[in-house]
Structure formats: structure tokens, C-alpha cells
Amino acid sequence: METNIDRISELPDALILHIFSFLNMEDVKETCMLSKRWRYLWLSSPTLRIYDTYMSNDDDDFVSLNKFINFVDRILLLRDTSSDIQTLKLRWMNINVYLDRLKLMYDVSSRIATWIMAAVKHNVQELVVSLLTYQVIKLPDCFFTCKSLTKFKFTGFGRDVTDFVLPNNTMCFPHLRYLALTGVSVVGDENLTSKLLSSCPVCMVVSGSLDLLDDLSIQFCNLRSLMVETWVSRNCMNAIAYLVKISPNIESISVGIVK
């Protein structure tokens, strides 16, 4: 009977990468110790779940902050250029805690922009970002013309909404089907929201606060699902009715009332 067979090393790359898709990146990284063949394969994982809440809390604040930043840098900036990213889920929730305790000024927006720029270069398809920050977030211009993107979800957490800056230049998401902006306030020209949504010609699901979707002058021809969060107000139902009117193919509507 044959013994000592290294079956892990014999697994095909496609199967290994599929296994990675169910794990967060902190665990995926540890698989490099399973076999020599797995040593660098984790850097090619098409699904990236990067959550700072999974990082070790045993270090002091400064070490923890830099450990997370360096970890994400390594995953995104040292990635094989021929390896596309199917899904990037980035959650950075402890940044304010560290900065407040350390009394440090750190440009969160610039770092996020660097990471997203790297994701765009790798033809990212689904991008889900969750942040707890009081800083204004400005994404790189290349993101707003990303042809590979099919899903974009940005969630801001904190005492107030996160300011989200849209560019004044061209925006074009030819394959974006799902757009969700939660806990954010668009900064810039009052027509920028319409400009953003009109740049998503095949979008089928839109989710966001009512003020983001108000005063639109476009028609959602492909929209199938609409999810809206709004404060209780006299005008909210009229605004929702208008959104339905400009969406001839709407199939479902979900309205969350914020008291």
C-alpha cells in the first residue's frame, strides 16, 4: 500500500484557487506553508477578502496599523500582472481607532485610491469597500472608466456620512450591473449623481439613500431592483414614485425608513 503521498501538492491550481475563494486573505496567506507549490499561489487568488477585523489584536496600535497597510500592499501591489481579480472585498474598520489613539494624521483616501488603482489594473469585476473614516474619499480617475467592473458597493460607517468625491470628467461603467452607495454623501456638482448613474447603461440594481437618487433627469431602462434608504419626510413618497416612473422595467422596490 502506497504511503506518504503528498496529495495537497497534486491538487490542480484551479481547485486550489477555488478553495481560496471561501477564505479571508489572512487565512489564504497561511496556506503557503502547506507545500512548496502553494508558496506563491495565494498571491494569484482571484477572490480577495481583506478584513482588518481578522488581523491580530496582540500588537500595539502603530504596529497593527502598519501591519494591515503592508499586508494589503503586498496582496495588491506585488500581485502577478497576468492574474485578474474577480472579487475584492476590503473592510477597514479600525483606522479611526488607531489614528485617534496615536494622534496621527494619515491620508486614508490616498491609500484606498492606491489599492483600487491596483485592482483596476487587474481587471477587477466586483468591488466591495467598507470604511469607518471621517475623511473625504476620492477614488482614482481610472476607476470611473473601469470596463471590467460589474458590481460596486461602497459603505461608509461613522457618526456622519462619508463624503464621496466624484470626478468632473468622463465616467463610464459599460458592464456595471449593481451599484450601491450607503452611508455616503456625494461631493461636487449637483448633477454628478445623474452623471454617475447615466454612465451605467446596463445597471439592474441600484441601492442608496434617497438624497443620492433625487433630482435625476435620466431614465433607468434596465433597472430591475431599487433599494432606497430615506428619512421620514413628506416628500419621500413623491420622490420614490418618480424613481419608479423613470424605471419602466422595475420589478422590485425596497424602502428603508430611517427614523
What is the three-state SS of the chain?
CCCCCCHHHHCCHHHHHHHHCCCCHHHHHHHHHCCHHHCCHHHHCCEEEEEHHHCCCCCCHHHHHHHHHHHHHHHHHCCCCCCCCCEEEEEECCHHHHHHHHCCCCCHHHHHHHHHHHHHHCCCCEEEEEEECCCCEECCHHHHHCCCCCEEEEEEECCCCEEEECCCCCCCCCCCCEEEEECEEEECCCCHHHHHHHCCCCCCEEEEEHHHHCCCCCCCCCCCEEEEEEECCCCHHHHHHHHHHCCCCCCEEEEEEEC
**At 160, is the pLDDT very low, low, confident or very high (cuts 50, 70, 90)?**
low
Whether residues 114 and 155 fall in one domain: yes
Whether residues 78 and 171 fall in one domain: yes
Question: Mean pLDDT in the chain?
Answer: 81
The reply to whether 219 falls in a domain is no
The reply to whether 227 falls in a domain is no
Place of cell 431614465: 219
Whether residues 99 and 138 fall in one domain: yes
Whether residues 192 and 109 fall in one domain: yes
Whether residues 51 and 132 fall in one domain: yes
**Pairwise CA distance, residues 175 & 199, whole Å:** 10
The reply to whether 259 falls in a domain is no
**At 48, is the pLDDT very low, low, confident or very high (cuts 50, 70, 90)?**
very high
Q: Tell me, what's the pLDDT at 37? A: 75
Whether residues 87 and 150 fall in one domain: yes
Whether residues 157 and 195 fall in one domain: yes
pLDDT tens digit sequence for 89-101: 999 887 766 666 6
Among 233, 232, 230, 234, CA closest to 213 = 230
Check the CA dihedral 30-31-32-33 and report its sign.
positive
The pLDDT > 90 percentage for the chain reads 22
Return the C-alpha cell found at 96. Answer: 479611526
Q: What is the mean pLDDT of residues 174-190?
A: 82
Structural domains counted in the chain: 2
**Pairwise CA distance, residues 254 & 240, whole Å:** 10
| Per-residue pLDDT at 1 exceeds 60 | no
Whether residues 127 and 60 fall in one domain: yes
The reply to whether 29 falls in a domain is yes
Domain end (from 184, 203, 222)? 203
| 217 Rama class: left (phi>0) / alpha (psi -120 to 50) / beta | alpha
pLDDT tens digit sequence for 25-39: 888 888 877 777 777
Whether residues 85 and 191 fall in one domain: yes
Whether residues 28 and 133 fall in one domain: no
Residue 21, CB-side half-sphere exposure with 13 Å CA sphere:
11
Whether residues 31 and 151 fall in one domain: no
Whether residues 190 and 132 fall in one domain: yes
Helical packing angle, 61-77 and 95-102, nearest 10°: 140
The reply to whether 231 falls in a domain is no
Domain that holds residue 114: 47-203
**At 78, is the pLDDT very low, low, confident or very high (cuts 50, 70, 90)?**
confident
